Structure 1
Amino acid sequence: MMISYFICPLTWPRGIPFGSVNLLYGVDDDESKITSTAGGGTLTLEFGVLSRLTNNTVFEQVAKNSVRGIWARRSKLNLVGAHINVFTGEWTQKDAGIGTSIDSFYEYVLKAYLLFGDEEYLYVFQEAYKAAMHYLHHDPWYIEVNMNSGATVWPLFNSLQAFWPGLQI
Structure 2
Amino acid sequence: MNDWLGRLFDRENVDGTVAALVASQGESGGGPSEQARLKQKLADVESRLSKFHAAIEAGVDPAAMVDAINSAQNERAALRAELEHAPTPSTLTDAEIHAMIDSFGDVGSALSQGTPPEGLVSLYAAVDLHVHYQHEDRAADIEIHPARSRVNSLRVRGRSCALTTRIELPEVG
TM band (smaller chain)? under 0.3
Q: Which has the larger radius of gyration?
A: 2
Q: Normalising to structure 2: TM-score of the pair?
A: 0.22
Higher RCO (CA < 8 A, seq sep 6+):
2
The answer to which structure has the higher helix fraction is 2
